[in-house]
Chains A and B, each alone.
Chain A
Amino acid sequence: MDIFLQQLINGLVLGSVYALVALGYTMVYGIIELINFAHGEVTMMGALVALSVIGALALGMPGLPGVLILAAGLALAIPVCVALGLLIERVAYRPLRNAPRLAPLITAIGVSIVLQNLAMLIWGKQYISFPPVLPQGRYEILGAHITDVQIAILVLTVLIMLGLILMVQRTRLGRAMRATAQSRQVASLMGVDVNRVIASTFAIGSALAAVAGVMVSAYYGLAHYYMGFMLGLKAFSAAVLGGIGNLGGAMLGGLLLGLIESFGAGYIGDLTGGFLGSHYQDVFAFFVLIAVLVFRPSGLLGARGIERA
């Protein structure tokens, strides 16, 4: 029972991070129907920028409370990531909006190679550990443990998601985004500035990625120039699992994927009689992805694809 509960907690926390990154993929895909291949790299940049700020403050002003230091880290990471997101949209996507679909995919791949190597030049190839500024509380419930960091991730994720839903449902920008997602032509005929909407989508997704980057590095206590790749891939899987283009789907998909991974890693040894160990954790995301696409290509919450001819 305690193993079960522990995996449940771990899975939900991991899933929250996936969900936040997945939102970025799903929002962009919902609007321009392209995979923002560089999104994982934006997450990585957010983590590393925040870690640098946090590290510098922790060293320079040791008296400062941890939460304030963390906030300062986010305060720089978010604008940096937003700027990156806007740059990616401007460089890799906007000029190629009418080109064959492969072209923007390749530019996005190019941008992610650039970002990854830029990060390697700036921060080096080694793992960077999260400075010890965070509260280290650890509580026991029914035999499982939950830490302050985990609680913070869960609470923050819920707040962000609620905020995002309100934004999309209630604000002008949200309405414009939904209209653009329906049909770019119609939206622009109705007076929506489509370019601005698309840019805003990249900006919001990138801000979420910054937060997710900080979360994931706080959770694992590490960041690394290469961390964006796997994270991005899994988050994309989560978005597809939920039904790409669907915000609720990205949230659900992220949480589910986190749980699947966590339970999968916890139980795979028993399931295969010890043949496969927990280092197969990374495989689950892909098996889930493939299974979903094969059996329910529109994802869990996606509209059922209507046959078109």
Chain B
Amino acid sequence: MPEGKRPRWLVFGLLALGLALLPFLVDAGLGRSWVRLIDLALLYVMLALGLNIVVGYAGLLDLGYVAFYALGAYVYAWLASPHFGLHLPFWAALPLGAALAALFGVLLGTPTLRLRGDYLAIVTLGFGEIIRIFMNNLNAPVNITNGPQGINLIDPVRVGDMSLSQTQTLFGITFTGAHLTYYLFLLFTLALIFISMRLEDSRIGRAWVAIREDETAAAATGINTRNLKLLAFAMGATFGGLAGGLFASFQGFISPESFNLMESIMILCMIVLGGMGHIPGVIFGAVLLTLLPEALRYTGDWQRNLFGQIYIDPADLRMLLFGLALVAVMLYRPAGLMPSARRRREFADAAE
């Protein structure tokens, strides 16, 4: 049967089966720690999809995206941990975090949106740092964030009376917390992919891309650029806040260190490396960059095999290699590793 004719349901069925079995395959093949890593990768896919709306679609270079991730995480921690003695269920805490993040997206966006690209980048970066500095220091005189120690004992997600942090046996199959988390995250990730896809091919998505392409022409074509940019910020922030809440429940512990600038840059790199504005590329970039640093840990083994001893601690080496990889990819594939068809064409044109 020719490719295009394969029934869609078959493709979807196989994909669904693969995704359902993935944690077990990974567990068996690579070990339990990799299941957690896959969970983390899904979290980054959500973050990357959110930033993709802001940067990839609307063309607003946001270097402080992690601030929204942090807000979502802190709101969840405040509402579901012993810190304030509140223990809201996740279906209440999570949306509240996302909503607050969205609100901040609009608040931060309002004064800055008339800035040009690079300036916007630096201002958003400044916002990200401000939020981190406040998280680090708002433990006195009133203890809001518990400072650098962060917030501990955050409630895991509970469905009915099943906690996602504990091993459960369902239908005779044993699921660890990491396995269960995987399914929860997968659900959210699929939802966000769906939303992104629908938005991309809509009146709103086209308006975003028009703004990215030529803001003046977009305005003259009837687009209220300010509102649409704010909408992009709010949507991106919502995704980020959601991922933050999930992260808090998953780790059970958060501190300002998880939300530094490097994190924002990492997420930006994911979408640029993968292929900006192109959902499969963004997903690929997020998964790749989550797993790559881990995979680079194996450089310790290589060193031992090659030289008989470890010269450089692989944990130190991996970021160096990561930086080099970033440069190399940008030089040889400036449109990303998996650009959308139209961006591929654009770069082919430019090369002519």
Contact = CB atoms under 8 A, between A and B. Distances in A.
Asked if A and B form a direct contact in the complex, defined as CB atoms under 8 angstroms apart, the reply is yes
B118 A110 contact: no
A283 B128 CA distance: 11
Given A101-B117, A106-B326, A280 B133 contact: yes
Interface stretch (B28-36, B156-164, B317-325): B317-325
A229 B128 CA distance: 14
B272 A287 contact: no
Interface in B109-142: 111-112, 114-119, 121-123, 125-127, 129-130, 133-134, 136-137, 140-141
Contacts of B276: 102
A106 B273 CA distance: 9
Contacts of A236: 122
B312 interface: yes
Interface in A260-301: 274-277, 279-280, 282-283, 285-287, 289-290, 293-294, 297
A240 B119 contact: yes
A117 B323 contact: yes
Residue from the set A120, A229, A277, A286 with the largest chain B CB neighbour count within 10 Å: A286
Nearest to A287: B130
Interface stretch (A90-98, A179-187, A203-211): A90-98
A113 interface: yes
A111 B111 CA distance: 32
Contacts, number: 126
Contact of B327 (A99, A100, A111, A285): A111
B42 interface: no
A3 interface: no
Contact of B330 (A107, A121, A233, A283): A107
Contacts of B325: 110
Nearest to B110: A294
B331 A109 contact: no
Given A109-B265, A279-B137, A290-B111, A96 B322 contact: no
A104 to B, nearest CB: 8
Interface in B210-262: 216, 261
A237 B126 contact: yes
Given A107-B326, A289-B126, A102 B319 contact: no
Interface string A99-128: 111111111011111101110110000000
B330 A293 contact: no
A297 B119 contact: yes
B126 A286 contact: yes
B46 interface: no
Contact of A105 (B121, B127, B273, B350): B121
Interface string B317-352: 101101111110011001000000000000000100
A35 interface: yes
Given A98-B350, A286-B130, A113 B326 contact: yes
B61 interface: yes
16 contacts: A35-B122, A102-B272, A103-B272, A105-B61, A106-B273, A106-B330, A111-B323, A113-B323, A117-B319, A236-B122, A240-B119, A274-B141, A286-B127, A289-B126, A290-B112, A290-B126
Interface of B: 55, 61, 111-112, 114-119, 121-123, 125-127, 129-130, 133-134, 136-137, 140-141, 216, 261, 265, 268-269, 272-273, 276, 312, 316-317, 319-320, 322-327, 330-331, 334, 350
